Amino acid sequence: MMRASMTAMRQAGLSLIEMMIGLAIGLFLTLGLFTLIANSSNAFKIQDDFARMQENATAAMRYIGASVRQAGFYGYVQDATSLNLSYGAVSTATDCGSATNLPLTNWAFEVRQPIFGLVGLTQADVNIVLPCILASNYYSAPAAGQQILVTRGSNGYRIPDPNGDGNLTDGVAAERNGATTIYVQSDPGEGLLFAGANYAALRAAGRTRTLPGAIVRDADIFEYAAHVYYIRPCSRFASGTACTAAADDGKPIPTLVRQELVASVMTEVALAEGIERMSLLYGVDNAPAGSPDGVADTFTATPATADWANIVAVRVALLVRSSTPTGQYDDSAKTYDLNGDNVTDYRCTLDTITPAACSYKRKVFSQLFQLRNVAQRRGL
């Protein structure tokens, strides 16, 4: 019985030392498990951030590229100076022209200048130069180095002929907002801009353009497009139509936007989030007078006034940042050169507008676009 009692005592349970060792092993395994989960979560966030940055950059490049490629496309006319604005009596109710950014009126229809750029504007002066842009909706941090891109042309959408009779009056009337939309129509020699509501009267007066053939038909009609690209300090407004500190749930996201001509009003449209800086280099065809070839010879961010008519390409570089900050990430030691000239274009420590600016991931994307219509005309 004594032996049985001693055996029972030995099998009664764990000693304190054994229990402490077991707890230590369990804590160690639990810590390892939580570390694995945290690392996996952090890796997922990093991959998700970069995937979103790439998607945003792709979208931004697609919008800018489409506008640049279509700049200077006014149908079939060979010379933009042959476009007539008086027949169609086109005008804009809200415009971007000013005393320092001529013309004062009908600035969107300055067809002789299919592309133009501005650099160095700040929130204090952007609305003076471009009245269609609210000062609060222009992002100029960390210094006055942001650029603005202006393009004019057609979006390439051709108005269909519903019944195939060669008369496009019914085609214009069938378009959504066709009465107030601005269109361009041209033959190789001449063209005109007009509001859709005026087309029937212009056609009856013999002002519209036709193309020869077995059956004379109206020349193709395209929607006219005027775009102004710039960066806004926020993506989603807290209220109204102006960026505030409360936008985007208190963490404003810089966003690529553009002013586009909707009927006769320049209207701000958001395009891609996370675009923090836009750098533009314009390719100038500076071949000797009388022998242009449509190929860019030099690239510059500030073309001379006379060179804007000779721009045949645009190199676009975008600095894209993540939409949300990462707690332990520090970007303060990095500098970003967007132009490839070994000059720092951005450093988060100089950004006094974005809260926790150095906690965001960033990446530079670049692409070269050709002004096909301008280059083709110069290369003929």
| pLDDT band (50, 70, 90) for residue 287 | confident
- 61: confidence class by pLDDT, cuts 50, 70, 90: very high
User: Is 267 a domain residue?
Assistant: yes
Residue 186 lies in a domain: yes
pLDDT digits (tens, 9 = 90+) for 62-102: 999 999 999 999 999 888 889 988 887 787 766 798 988 88
pLDDT tens readout for residues 14-25: 677 877 887 888
Tokens matching residue 340: 């490839």
pLDDT at 160: 94
Q: Which residue has the higher pLDDT, 207 or 38?
A: 207
CB neighbour class for 158 (10 Å; exposed up to 12, middle 13-18, buried from 19): middle
Structure letter (DSSP) for residue 101: B
Asked if residue 55 has pLDDT above 90, the reply is yes
- Sorting pLDDT into bands at 50, 70 and 90, what band is 13? low
Q: Is residue 211 part of a domain?
A: yes
Give the span between the Cα atoms of 30 and 351, in whole angstroms: 41
Q: Determine the pLDDT at residue 137.
A: 96
Q: How confident is the model at residue 155 (pLDDT cuts 50, 70, 90)?
A: confident
Q: Express each pLDDT in 327-343 by its tens digit.
A: 788 989 999 999 888 88
Please state, for a pLDDT cut of 90, what percent of the chain lies above it: 56
Highest mean pLDDT, choosing among 4-8, 131-135, 208-212: 131-135
Is the pLDDT at 110 greater than 70? The verdict is yes
User: pTM of the prediction?
Assistant: 0.87
pLDDT digits (tens, 9 = 90+) for 221-239: 999 999 999 999 999 999 9
With DSSP H G I counted as helix, E B as strand and the rest as coil, what are the percentages for the chain, rounded to 5? 30, 30, 40
Please state, in angstroms and rounded to a whole number, the distance separating the CA atoms of residues 61 and 58.
5
In 250-324, which residue ranges form alpha helices assigned H by DSSP? none
* Mean of the per-residue pLDDT values of the chain: 88
| Res. 320: pLDDT tops 90 | yes
**Domain assignment of residue 106, yes or no:** yes
Which residue has better confidence, 71 or 6?
71
The reply to whether 224 falls in a domain is yes
Within a domain: residue 306? Answer: no
Q: Residue 163 sits in which domain range?
A: 51-274+370-379
At 94 the pLDDT is 64
Asked, for residue 137, whether it belongs to a domain, the answer is yes
State the pLDDT at residue 182: 92
The total number of structural domains that make up the chain: 1
* pLDDT at residue 33, rounded to an integer: 74
The upper half-sphere exposure of residue 160, i.e. CA atoms within 13 Å in the direction of its Cβ, equals: 5
- DSSP SS3 for 200: helix
Q: Look at 344 and 115; give whichever has higher pLDDT.
A: 115
CA distance 79 to 377: 9
Assess whether pLDDT exceeds 90 at residue 294: no
Identify whether 226 is part of a domain.
Answer: yes
User: Two tokens at 225?
Assistant: 């497009």
